[in-house]
Amino acid sequence: MKLFIQRATVLGSLVLSLTACAGQQTTPESGGELNNAEAPSLAVGAIPDQDPEKIQRLSDKLTAYLESELEVSVEYRPVTDYAAAVTAFKVGDLDLVWFGGLTGVQARLQVEGAEAIAQRDIDEQFTSVFIANVNSGLQPFTDISGLKALKNKTLTFGSESSTSGRLMPQYFMQKTGLTLDDVKGKVGFSGNHDATIKLVEAGTFEVGALNSQVWDSRLEEGAVDQSKVSVVWRTSPYYDYHWVVSPAVEERYGAGFTQKLQTALTGLDASVPAEKELLELFGAAKFIPTENQNYAQIEEIGRQIGKIK
Partner 1 sequence: MSSSHAAITKLFAWPSWVNRRSFWVVMVWVAISTSLYTASATGTALINWNGLGQFGEFWLASLNPDLSPEFLAIIGRATLVTFAYAVCGTTLSVGLGFIGGVLAAETWWRTVFPPSAKGSWLGPLMWRWVRVLLAFPRAIHELIWGLFFLSILGLDPVVAVVAIAIPFSAIVAKVFSEILDETPQEPLNALLNSGAAPATAWLYGLLPQALPNLLSYASYRFECSLRSAAVLGVIGAGGLGYEILLSLQSLRYSQLWTGFYALILLNGTVDLWSAWMRRRLGFTSRLDLHTPAEVRKKSNALNPALHRSQDWLLRLSWGLIALVTPLCYWRLNIGWERLWSPRTHRLLADILTASRPVWPTLEGFQALLHLSGLTLAMSILAMALAGLGGILLSFPAAQTFLLPAGCLSIGGTKGAVRARSLFWGSRWILLVSRAIPAPIWALVFLFVLFPGVWPGALALAIHNLGILGRLMAEVNENLDERPVRSLQALGASPGQIILYSVLPQNLGRFLTYIFYRWEVCIRETVMVGLVGAAGLGRLLTEQLSSFDYSGLAITLGCFILLTLCVDWVSQQIRKTQAEF
Site for partner 1 in 222-251 (CB under 8 A): 225, 228
**Rounded Cα gap, residues 121 and 136, in angstroms:** 35
Give residues 24-63 in contact with partner 1 (rule: CB under 8 A): 25, 27-28, 30, 32-34, 43, 48-53, 55-56
b/e burial code for range 220-236 (CB count within 10 A of at least 16 → b): eeeebeeeebbebbebe
Residue 125 Cβ, how far from partner 1 at the closest point, in Å? 23
Helix axes of 55-70 and 257-266: crossing angle, nearest 10 degrees: 130
> Closer CB to partner 1, residue 120 or residue 307?
307
How many whole angstroms separate alpha carbon 93 and alpha carbon 76? 11
Instruction: Based on the shown chain and the rule CB under 8 A, indicate whether residue 14 belongs to the binding site for partner 1.
Output: yes
- CA contacts within 13 A on the Cβ side of 7: 4
Q: Is 2 in the site for partner 1 (CB under 8 A)?
A: no
28 vs 289, beta carbon nearer partner 1: 28
Residue 4 or 143: the one with the smaller Cβ distance to partner 1 is 4
Identified binder of partner 1 from the candidate list 37, 39, 64, 80, rule CB under 8 A: 80
Least distance (Å) between residue 259 CB and partner 1: 26
Whichever of 105 and 147 has its CB closer to partner 1, that residue is: 105
If binding is defined by CB under 8 A, does position 19 make contact with partner 1?
yes
Nearer to partner 1, 7 or 151 (CB): 7
255 part of the interface to partner 1, by CB under 8 A: no
Told to check if 135 binds partner 1 by CB under 8 A, we report yes
Phi, psi of 288 (to 5 degrees): -125, 155
- By CB under 8 A, the residues from 162 to 221 that bind partner 1 are 184-192, 194-195, 198-199, 201-205
* Separation between Cα atoms, residue 290 and residue 30, nearest integer Å: 27
- Binding-site member from 37, 39, 91, 272 for partner 1 (CB under 8 A): 91
The one-letter amino acid code at 127 reads T
Nearer to partner 1, 7 or 175 (CB): 7
Residues in 93-112 that interact with partner 1 by CB under 8 A:
93-94, 106, 110
Stretch that binds partner 1, among 22-30, 124-132, 237-245, 249-257 (CB under 8 A): 22-30
Distance CA 128, CA 49 (A): 14
User: In terms of CB distance, is 59 or 262 closer to partner 1?
Assistant: 59
State the number of binding residues for partner 1 (CB under 8 A).
Answer: 78
